[in-house]
Amino acid sequence: MGIFKKSSTEGANYITARESRKISKENRRITDEYEKKKNRKIIPREEYITQMKNSENVVEFDNLHTYFFSDVGVVKSVNGVSFDIPKGKTVGVVGESGCGKSVTSLSLMQLVQRPQGQIVAGAIRFNTGKEVVDVTKMPTSEMQKLRGNKLSMIFQEPMTSLNPVFRIGLQIDEVIQLHYPDMNKEDIRKRSIEMLKLVGIANSEGVYKMYPHELSGGMRQRVMIAMGLACDPELIIADEPTTALDVTIQAQILDILRDLKNRMNSSIMLITHDLGVIAEMADIVVVMYAGRIVEKGTAEEIFSNPSHPYTIGLMNSKPAVGKKVDRLYSIPGKVPNPVNMPDYCYFKERCEMSISDCNGAYPEQIQLSPTHFISCYRYVNDKGENQ
Ligand SMILES: Nc1ncnc2c1ncn2[C@@H]1O[C@H](COP(=O)(O)OP(=O)(O)OP(=O)(O)O)[C@@H](O)[C@H]1O
Ligand code: SF4
Ligand SMILES: [Mg+2]
């Protein structure tokens, strides 16, 4: 794009104020277009009602592109991501900080920060149980009906998601009431207490009356899970659900999630930078690097036969089970600048296994088995066919 120049300090980039203003103006023009389309009073149902490619899936990300139009240029946070979440399965999404895990899940919830963040291409098909919608084209008002109902989210820091001035019980009651408007007050209260019991809270009647600050971090996360599950979601999105917790509590929360998933037959999209968590929980693993998927497969395939050099690096830097780490990654080098991605393999600068072919265009996705996919030149000639 030519907006980045190397300064005298190695690796530092700058743009002039004038250039930045020009970019802002252009950004506004682009994002206004997207917003105008989104803010139409009436969006015909035909625009967003669709079909799944495979009826066994609850979600299908199909070539998703989510960009941020920032003052220094376009950040291609999610740059052509495709994967499925089958019914009743846990899909683990792993990759180092900034690779686009959260933006992928926020795209699915229509919670990408607007107007600068926009889904510019691709589809996200979601089977609500009644119909299939393309979330990228759906009106916000319709999406609101799915959030916290068919789709629920569990975040890293439960304190920021719970309202400090209201009692726990009231907050769960509210979620239940919203989704079961015909239920009477007493039945709602009973269900809230039942949900608290379900997530392993022994003194559920007592906790029902408490305020968030009276609970420990682990207890608050249990409450968040109870709220998330109060309305039988088709899909639970858990973004680093245990990162803020200590190891024993972490294990308990994962047990609860696993147990509830089996009981309710929901699917889970589990986002984490911790491969230990993925190994314990996931049926399918998606490995992201710099906004793209570099490898995906069943957990068995990824753990017994990690094939992409980045995945191999992740495995080598995997901490011992039960050891808490803030950052998983220790492969030398840096992720490329997200505003100025190279036109060859994004991992090349850090790859210790590169071959001469790697100077070519970004590698196409190759199929190693019916469920195992990879984007890497090492596999082009000997292990599969270009897709
Ligand atoms: N609101 C925003 N405005 C501009 N850029 C953003 C915004 N939100 C995210 N990004 C950029 O998008 C990229 C992907 O971010 P994302 O939050 O998805 O990473 P992540 O994989 O979830 O990382 P982490 O493990 O740290 O949570 C990053 O380069 C980030 O800086
Ligand atoms: S394509 Fe080449 S540089 Fe990229 S990960 Fe594979 S071997 Fe490494
Ligand atoms: Mg994140």
Q: What is the pLDDT of residues 54-109, one digit of tens each?
A: 999 999 999 999 999 998 889 999 999 999 999 999 999 999 889 999 999 999 99
* In contact, 114 and 33? CB cutoff 8 Å: no
**Nearest ligand for residue 94 CA:** 1
How many other C-beta atoms lie within 10 A of the C-beta of residue 356?
7
* In contact, 201 and 207? CB cutoff 8 Å: yes
How many other C-beta atoms lie within 10 A of the C-beta of residue 369?
12
Instruction: Say what the pLDDT of residue 217 is.
Output: 86
- Ligand 1 atom, smallest distance to 99 CA: 21
Look at residue 31 and tell me whether its pLDDT is greater than 90: yes
User: End-to-end alpha-carbon separation of the chain, Å?
Assistant: 29
Would you call 6 exposed, middle or buried from its count of C-beta atoms within 10 A (0-12, 13-18, 19+)?
Answer: exposed
Instruction: Say what the pLDDT of residue 230 is.
Output: 81
Confidence band of 386 (pLDDT split at 50, 70, 90): very low
CA distance 291 to 80: 8
Pocket of ligand 2 (CB under 6 A): 309, 345, 347-348, 351, 353-355, 358, 363, 376-378
CA distance 167 to 172: 9
Amino acid type, 97: S
- Ligand 1 atom, smallest distance to 95 CA: 21
By C-alpha distance, which of 256, 263, 254, 261 is closest to 235?
A: 261
Amino acid type, 61: F
* In contact, 246 and 277? CB cutoff 8 Å: no
Instruction: Say what the pLDDT of residue 16 is.
Output: 84
Pocket of ligand 1 (CB under 6 A): 68, 70, 75, 77, 95, 97-103, 113, 116-117, 273, 338
Task: Give residue-wise pLDDT tens across range 158-206.
Answer: 656 788 899 999 999 998 888 888 999 999 999 999 989 888 898 999 9
- Ligand 2 atom, smallest distance to 345 CA: 4
How far away, in angstroms, is 207 Cα from ligand 1 center?
A: 35
Q: What is the mean pLDDT of residues 3-11?
A: 40
Ligand 1 atom 10: residue of nearest CA: 77
Interacting residues of 129 by C-beta distance below 8 A, sequence separation 6+: 150, 234
What distance lies between CA 320 and its chain's CA centroid?
Answer: 24
Ligand 1 atom 19: residue of nearest CA: 98
CA distance 15 to 61: 34
Q: What is the mean pLDDT of residues 306-311?
A: 96
Cα dihedral sign for 346, 15, 23, 111?
positive
Look at residue 135 and tell me whether its pLDDT is greater than 90: yes
How many CA atoms does the CB half-sphere of 222 hold within 13 Å? 29
Between the alpha carbon of residue 171 and those of residues 135, 158, 228, 369, the distances in Å are 27, 13, 11, 46
Ligand 2 atom 1: residue of nearest CA: 376
Q: What is the mean pLDDT of residues 333-348?
A: 88
Instruction: Say what the pLDDT of residue 323 is.
Output: 52
Place of tokens 């769960």: 172
Look at residue 328 and tell me whether its pLDDT is greater than 60: no
pTM of the model: 0.89
Instruction: Say what the pLDDT of residue 332 is.
Output: 78
Look at residue 264 and tell me whether its pLDDT is greater than 70: yes
For ligand 1, mutation pick of 101, 153, 325 (most atoms within 8 Å of CB)? 101
Backbone angles phi, psi at 198, to 5 degrees: -60, -30
Ligand 1 atom 14: residue of nearest CA: 100
158's tokens? 């439960």
Alpha helices in the chain (DSSP H): 17-38, 101-109, 140-146, 158-161, 168-179, 185-198, 204-208, 217-229, 247-264, 275-281, 299-304, 309-316
**Nearest ligand for residue 353 CA:** 2
How far away, in angstroms, is 82 Cα from ligand 1 center?
A: 18
124's tokens? 């996200």
258's tokens? 């696993």
CA distance 123 to 114: 18
Interacting residues of 236 by C-beta distance below 8 A, sequence separation 6+: 152, 153, 154, 228, 229, 257, 261, 266, 267, 268, 269
Backbone angles phi, psi at 272, to 5 degrees: -160, 155
CA distance 385 to 283: 25
How many other C-beta atoms lie within 10 A of the C-beta of residue 215?
19
339's tokens? 């505003």
Instruction: Say what the pLDDT of residue 382 is.
Output: 60
How far away, in angstroms, is 150 Cα from ligand 2 center?
A: 39
How far away, in angstroms, is 186 Cα from ligand 3 center?
A: 38
Cis status of the peptide bond prior to 158, with omega within 30 of 0 = no
CA distance 15 to 183: 58
Cα dihedral sign for 167, 168, 171, 172?
negative
